[in-house]
Amino acid sequence: MNPVLLQSPLANFAQLITSYFIEIWDFLIFIGQISGVVIVLIGAILWFTEVNQSRGKSFVAGGVLLSIVIEYFVLFPPIFVVA
């Protein structure tokens, strides 16, 4: 028998959990990217329509910061996504 093809149930379970973590991670990255764009858009609308300029500026800054953080995690994902 080939020992490479034979895996323990614990190893299969670990691979299953890792695949779930990868799917959850990808979904969170997607939500973060969409959120960054939406927050910047809402902030720009508030800022340029002069409804609430200070809140609009803070939304734009927060959206840009969120997008930078999300891009960092896209470039340097956790070890379970890489492996």
pLDDT reading at 81 higher than 80:
no
pTM score of the predicted model: 0.78
Position 31 pLDDT exceeds 90: yes
- pLDDT above 70: residue 25: yes
Half-sphere CA count of 6, side-chain side, radius 13 A? 3
Question: Domains of the chain: which residue ranges?
Answer: 29-82
For residue 3, what pLDDT is reported? 55
> d(Cα 52, Cα 66) in Å, to the nearest integer?
21
Q: Which is more confidently placed, 61 or 50?
A: 61
CA angle 37, 69, 46 (to 5 degrees): 35
